[in-house]
């Protein structure tokens, strides 16, 4: 077993931008009307607590916002129905999460064409009338401001469209037409209230460098003071299809980080946009919602490495998605089907769920960061850390980690080590489901058992300091993620109670 020792010196500070809980993705907005969706989001919010949520379908027909009627003279008029929008936004507010508004897709009655995407047929053509589109955007924002307050709503980031560089998401991937949409939409939003922050171009993959550069050039040419730049980030090769599923190979992380750095460099090459916020409004390993990798411990360990570095170049990075109530390719057949979510249907946390929980708890001054671990020191002098062991298929082995951490103590000579382990042995609901026979419809008993098998293994110990330092020893199995906390033990206990006598020592 490979052994790694990390010694932290007193007063060490290491750069680490941890914005793990700023935003998370969701399926189309209309799915928020479902009970299971709300239960999964409530679980995510209770354990992790994201600040924002972003998804498609704000203006798709299932939300029913855009309507038309014809008067007695045969003239058409627009009208707006915010019934479902209010239900969704009210439910988000109850769970203490705000929208990162993505403006799309096109209402059928407003669209210039019939091209759609996904099982639920989101229209991806430009508006027949840009004036009508801008009026829809403005009416929606004004309604939200009236309902929830201008101060609140103007703080919600707004992104114009989704992946217009892909012909499946924007007719013909027409760059000139998208820039027209962006310019008109940007102006319409700022007319409602200058405080709104608006960004784009929300591109993914194909010709990303060209699109980012051309977008910045367009904003410069048209004197558009864009507020932030958005893009997406996925890290697998093209899937190999088999039945309902797509099997993928992970790319080495450095490829993805180099690509993100290119975006950062392009934006910074424009003097007026230098240092501008870049938000990754979607990221995951695979970009398909039927990839079994998403349900695995390998995914959890790989994502740990991503979360340790994505903040270096980006203001935020939104995992796609929080849960598996999701229908881009139709309704899934089984609870474990390779969905994007942190939570499987049935309310079962996947291993990657805990990677996010651990990073959310990693608040403090960073004192160590490497390719396999991050440690922070909190204000009270305790430590929190994460170590992971991502291994490629067929060549994995356990790894040993030792962290030597200086502690400022006076009377306290002992410290507590709390460990939470997520790996293929201790927290692997996918393996448990497989052992059950891979049932497609779970009974309540099966759901309960899977939830029990989806919890981290928790252990704790008390040790004495050595030369004023705590020593944390971890064994991280292949594809494992281990979280730990180290804090001084305060003197206490009841008169006559002796733990050593209790356990026979």
Catalytic residue set: 163, 282
Distances from the Cα of 309 to the Cαs of 281, 304, 317, 462, in angstroms? Answer: 16, 9, 10, 32
Q: Is residue 273 classed as helix, strand or coil in its secondary structure?
A: helix
CA distance 135 to 160: 15
Token pair, residue 242, equals 């088999």
Q: 365: which strand partners?
A: 377
Sheet strands (E) in 320-413: 343-344, 348-349, 365-370, 373-377, 383-389, 399-406
Element (DSSP H or E) covering residue 140: helix 130-148
Closest CA to 133 of 178, 195, 166: 178
Are 1 and 33 contacting, i.e. CB atoms less than 8 angstroms apart?
Answer: no
What is the C-alpha radius of gyration for the chain, rounded to an integer number of angstroms? 25
Cα three-residue angle 260-265-270, rounded to 5 degrees: 135
Eight-state DSSP code of residue 47: H
Contacts of residue 164, defined as CB under 8 A and 6 or more positions apart, other chains included, come to 170, 173, 174, 175, 178, 181, 201, 202, 203
Find all residues with CB under 8 Å of 427, minimum gap 6, and list them.
297, 351, 354, 421, 453, 454, 455, 456, 457
Distances (CA, A) of 80 to 60, 61, 114, 135, 270: 13, 12, 22, 10, 40
* Residue 28 · residue 62 · CB < 8 Å: yes
């Amino acid at each position: 077993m490979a052994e790694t020792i990390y010694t932290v010196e007193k007063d060490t500070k290491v750069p680490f931008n941890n914005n793990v809980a700023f935003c998370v993705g969701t399926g189309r907005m209309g799915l928020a009307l479902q009970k299971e969706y709300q239960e999964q989001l409530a679980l995510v919010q209770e354990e992790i607590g994201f600040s924002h949520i972003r998804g498609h379908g704000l203006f798709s027909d299932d939300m029913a916002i855009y309507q038309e009627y014809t008067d007695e003279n045969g003239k058409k008029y627009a009208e707006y129905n915010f019934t479902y929008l209010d239900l969704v936004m009210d439910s988000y507010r109850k769970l203490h999460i705000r929208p990162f508004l993505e403006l799309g897709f096109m209402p059928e009655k407003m669209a210039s064409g019939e091209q759609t995407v996904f099982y639920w047929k989101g229209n991806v053509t430009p508006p027949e009338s840009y004036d009508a589109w801008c009026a829809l955007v403005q009416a929606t924002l004004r309604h939200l401001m009236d309902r929830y307050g201008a101060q609140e709503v103007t703080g919600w980031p707004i992104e114009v469209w989704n992946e217009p560089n892909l012909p499946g998401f924007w007719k013909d991937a027409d760059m000139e037409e998208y820039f027209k949409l962006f310019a008109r939409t940007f102006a319409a939003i700022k007319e409602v209230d200058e405080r709104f922050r608006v960004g784009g171009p929300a591109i993914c993959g194909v010709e990303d460098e060209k699109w980012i550069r051309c977008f910045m050039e367009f904003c410069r040419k048209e004197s558009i003071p864009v507020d932030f730049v958005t893009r997406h980030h996925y890290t697998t090769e093209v899937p190999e299809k088999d039945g309902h599923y797509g099997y993928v190979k992970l790319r080495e992380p450095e490829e993805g980080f180099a690509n993100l750095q290119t975006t950062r460099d392009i934006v910074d090459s424009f003097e007026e946009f230098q240092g501008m916020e870049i938000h990754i409004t979607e990221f995951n390993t695979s970009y398909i919602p039927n990839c079994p990798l998403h349900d695995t411990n390998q995914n959890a360990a790989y994502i740990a490495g991503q979360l340790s570095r994505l903040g270096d170049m980006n203001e935020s990075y939104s995992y796609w998605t929080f849960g598996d109530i999701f229908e881009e390719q139709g309704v899934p057949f089984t609870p474990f089907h390779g969905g994007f979510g942190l939570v499987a249907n049935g309310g079962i946390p996947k291993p990657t769920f805990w990677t996010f929980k651990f990073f959310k708890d990693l608040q403090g001054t960073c004192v160590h960061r490497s390719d396999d671990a991050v440690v922070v020191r909190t204000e009270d002098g305790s430590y929190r850390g994460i170590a992971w062991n991502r291994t490629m298929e067929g060549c994995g082995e356990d790894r040993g980690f030792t962290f030597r951490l200086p502690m400022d103590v006076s009377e306290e000579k002992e410290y507590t080590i709390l460990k939470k382990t997520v790996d293929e042995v201790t927290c692997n609901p996918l393996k448990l489901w497989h052992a059950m026979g891979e049932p497609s419809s779970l009974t309540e008993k099966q759901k309960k058992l899977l939830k029990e098998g989806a919890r981290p293994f928790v252990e704790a110990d008390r040790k004495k300091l050595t030369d004023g330092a705590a020593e944390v020893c971890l064994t991280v199995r292949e594809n494992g993620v281990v979280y730990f906390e180290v804090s001084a033990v305060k003197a206490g206990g009841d008169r006559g109670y002796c733990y050593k006598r209790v356990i026979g020592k």
